[in-house]
Structure 1
Amino acid sequence: MSEDTEVRRTLNEQAARQLANATKTRAQWSGITPRWLVSFLPWTPVEAGIYRLNRVKEGAIGTSSDVKCSPTNDADLPESYVPYEENPREYSLNAVTTVLDVQTRVSDLYSHPIDQIQEQLRLLIEKVKEKQEFELINNAEYGLLTNTAKSQRIKTRKGAPTPDDLDELISKVWKEPSFFLAHPKAIAAFGRECTKRGVPPPTVNLFGTPFLTWRGLPLVPSDKLTISAEGKKTGKTNILLVRTGEKRQGVVGLFQPGVPGEVSPSLSVRFMGINRKAIASYLISLYCSAAILTEDAIAVLEDVEVDHYFDYDKKFA
């Protein structure tokens, strides 16, 4: 018997694969990010989806003329009071929503070993959470970047972010600042500038992850700070410095616990029924907002130049 005949009588690999069980992964999506902003912000529960921000009237409180130290016995005590804004701002929770449609034939027949409905819900919830972080930064009504006061905005000295620029941000948010927020490419550009000056930024471990720091404040990465088109090799973005917490009159995230169908705080999944075409629908809703309690709780460094432009606006259009 020839060698060729022996080969033909041997079970080949391609045929053998038909009887083998392949180990399958869950669907992998490169668009999932750590969403550090959501982790670093303190979250305040609200009732009825409304948060009223009461403030003192700016410039209405005097200094030495209103309060005296050790007045003499024959002197009148100073009279004063603290005036409030008469029309305080109210924040309403914003809904980030989407609807999942699944053909029941698909979910009935093809849900082993991975449940098709649960996998679709998992991925869409990730997309909703990515959109949530984008809105926390860029939303016109409550986004941190868009609601920073003009007096709290500065521009870079030379284009690329430098230690001097970040020190200037600290001078704007000097009352117990919490963290910087920047695009990963902006953090890389800052690291290069520090290396040029011989002052490489140290790192700190938070949530089990190393972060670069400056003056002891972590530089938190988020790709939701967009990069605008400037040229083929460069673009411009922003860096934020944030103070957080109600006790420190900082920035807080807003959510409403106990919403119907809640699977995590302020996130709900609700079955909407099956139509006559056998399509099952699920409503995914995430309710959130953010509030800047005082103007000096946040500052923005503008016109930060970074390498290799990419249009992040299209990712969340």
Structure 2
Amino acid sequence: MSDHQDVRLALGDSAARQLANATKTVPQLSTISPRWLVHLLQWTPVEAGIFRLNKVKNPLNVQVACSQRDEAVLPQTFVDYEEQPREYFLNAVTTILDVHTRVSDLYSSPHDQIREQLRLTIETIKERQENELINNPEYGLLASVDPSQRISTLGGAPTPDDLDELIARVWKEPAFFLAHPLAIAAFGRECTRRGVPPPTVSLFGAQFLTWRGLPLVPSDKIPFDDNGKTKILLLRVGDKRQGVVGLYQPGVAGEQSPGLSVRFMGINRNAIASYLISLYCSLAVLTEDALAVLDDVEVDKYHDYSDTYK
């Protein structure tokens, strides 16, 4: 047998793969998070994009009395309202998605290109929505905390005492803490160090650390300052509890989900199909004691535990 003769006895893997169909996934987007805040808020529909928050003026001036049987004179009172209540205007998170018709016509099997482009864009818009609910300078949670509801740690990791102080500020039916995953990990380590490991609770099929029965809900949208410190929030939610509510515009054209609109804008002369994607939302804190924040929270940023708590 010649030294140059092909001595292969069977079809090779590389050649065989040319006849095989690869199983293809949809595009994976690493920036998608659970967005627990959006799930846990109560969402209130807003007509004409305006939400007027009426409040009682000087609530301590409302006078009542428990009179004795022989008293004939009772206090007279009335409940006054603020004459210039705050109004919230819905914020729009928008973008225009462009898809070449040649791409959608030729390359939409097994996964539809337009559907996947819309799905990934909508996911990104919803991530931005949660970011705005926390960080928007006009209506975000961090900008809506009353000065009397702000406390600071004594330095170091968040402690059970710190979270107890938050509960004391939001003591009327608090719903959940909101913190960066690294802050939750730091709190868990501090509790374990003190011999009081926090229990967990199952919500939406996921496990959450708790303190005093309140879940610590993670969000990677909670920022860090220039000194590497972050914050922990405590919320009461719902209009019946005079808490924090999300706001959305119902019945928008092309509505896909509450407040989310997808509208086809047409195909231009370059065969580009365009879709306008809009999400209208805002947030309101109905009373000052529905929200409190713990400032100057230090975490161990050298250990990334975020995937554990998402």
Q: Same fold (TM over 0.5)?
A: yes
**3-state SS in 2 of match to 1:198:** coil
The Cα of 1:9 is off from its aligned counterpart by 6.3
- Tell me what 2:257 maps to: 264
The Cα of 1:214 is off from its aligned counterpart by 0.2
**Alignment of 1:202 onto 2:195:** no
Q: Determine if contact 1:41/1:252 at 8 Å carries over to the other structure.
A: yes
Which string of whole-angstrom CA distances, capped at 9 and with x for unpartnered residues, describes residues 232-273 of structure 1?
xxx111000000111111001111221100111111110011
Which string of whole-angstrom CA distances, capped at 9 and with x for unpartnered residues, describes residues 288-308 of structure 1?
111100000000000101122
Q: Determine if contact 1:228/1:309 at 8 Å carries over to the other structure.
A: no
- Tell me what 1:80 maps to: 77
TM-score by length of 2: 0.93
Q: Structure 1 stretch 47-56 or stretch 163-172: which is displaced more?
A: 47-56
Question: Hey, which bits of structure 1, 4+ residues long, moved more than 3 A?
Answer: 1-10, 71-75
Q: What is the count of residue pairs matched by the alignment?
A: 303
Aligned ranges 1:50-129 → 2 under 5 Å = 50-62=50-62, 66-71=63-68, 73=70, 75-129=72-126
The Cα of 1:180 is off from its aligned counterpart by 0.2
Change (3 A) 1:276 1:131: same
Q: Distance in 1 between matches of 2:42 and 2:112?
A: 34
Q: Distance in 2 between matches of 1:2 and 1:57?
A: 102
- Tell me what 2:278 maps to: 285
- Tell me what 2:152 maps to: 155
**Alignment of 1:187 onto 2:184:** yes
The Cα of 1:61 is off from its aligned counterpart by 2.1
Q: Distance in 2 between matches of 1:57 and 1:262?
A: 38
Q: Distance in 1 between matches of 2:296 and 2:281?
A: 29
**Alignment of 1:11 onto 2:11:** yes
Q: Distance in 1 between matches of 2:70 and 2:186?
A: 63
- Tell me what 2:34 maps to: 34
Instruction: Report the AA paired with residue 83 of structure 1.
Output: D
The Cα of 1:52 is off from its aligned counterpart by 1.0
Q: Distance in 2 between matches of 1:26 and 1:159?
A: 43
Question: RMSD of the alignment, in Å?
Answer: 1.7
The Cα of 1:6 is off from its aligned counterpart by 5.6
Q: Distance in 1 between matches of 2:2 and 2:31?
A: 55
**3-state SS in 2 of match to 1:11:** coil
Structure 2 gap segments, 5+ residues each: 304-310
- Tell me what 1:303 maps to: 296
Q: Determine if contact 1:173/1:298 at 8 Å carries over to the other structure.
A: yes
Instruction: Report the AA paired with residue 135 of structure 2.
Output: N
Identity, in percent, stands at 72
The Cα of 1:197 is off from its aligned counterpart by 0.5
The Cα of 1:30 is off from its aligned counterpart by 1.2
Change (3 A) 1:203 1:3: farther
Which string of whole-angstrom CA distances, capped at 9 and with x for unpartnered residues, describes residues 68-125 of structure 1?
2124556422111111101111111111111111111111111111111110100000
Q: Distance in 2 between matches of 1:61 and 1:218?
A: 37
Which string of whole-angstrom CA distances, capped at 9 and with x for unpartnered residues, describes residues 130-174 of structure 1?
000000001111101111111100001223100000000001001
The Cα of 1:198 is off from its aligned counterpart by 0.3
- Tell me what 1:245 maps to: 238
Which string of whole-angstrom CA distances, capped at 9 and with x for unpartnered residues, describes residues 1-48 of structure 1?
579746346432212211111000000111100000001111111111
Q: Distance in 1 between matches of 2:85 and 2:60?
A: 15
Instruction: Report the AA paired with residue 11 of structure 1.
Output: L
Q: Determine if contact 2:58/2:80 at 8 Å carries over to the other structure.
A: no
Q: Distance in 1 between matches of 2:166 and 2:27?
A: 41
Change (3 A) 1:169 1:6: same
Q: Determine if contact 1:138/1:144 at 8 Å carries over to the other structure.
A: yes
Aligned ranges 1:136-147 → 2 under 5 Å = 136-147=133-144
TM-score by length of 1: 0.91
**Alignment of 1:213 onto 2:210:** yes
Change (3 A) 1:125 1:179: same
Q: Distance in 2 between matches of 1:253 and 1:268?
A: 17
Structure 1 gap segments, 5+ residues each: 311-317
- Tell me what 2:307 maps to: none
Change (3 A) 1:4 1:189: farther
Which string of whole-angstrom CA distances, capped at 9 and with x for unpartnered residues, describes residues 182-211 of structure 1?
000000000111011000000011111111
Q: Distance in 2 between matches of 1:248 and 1:302?
A: 25
Q: Determine if contact 1:194/1:200 at 8 Å carries over to the other structure.
A: yes
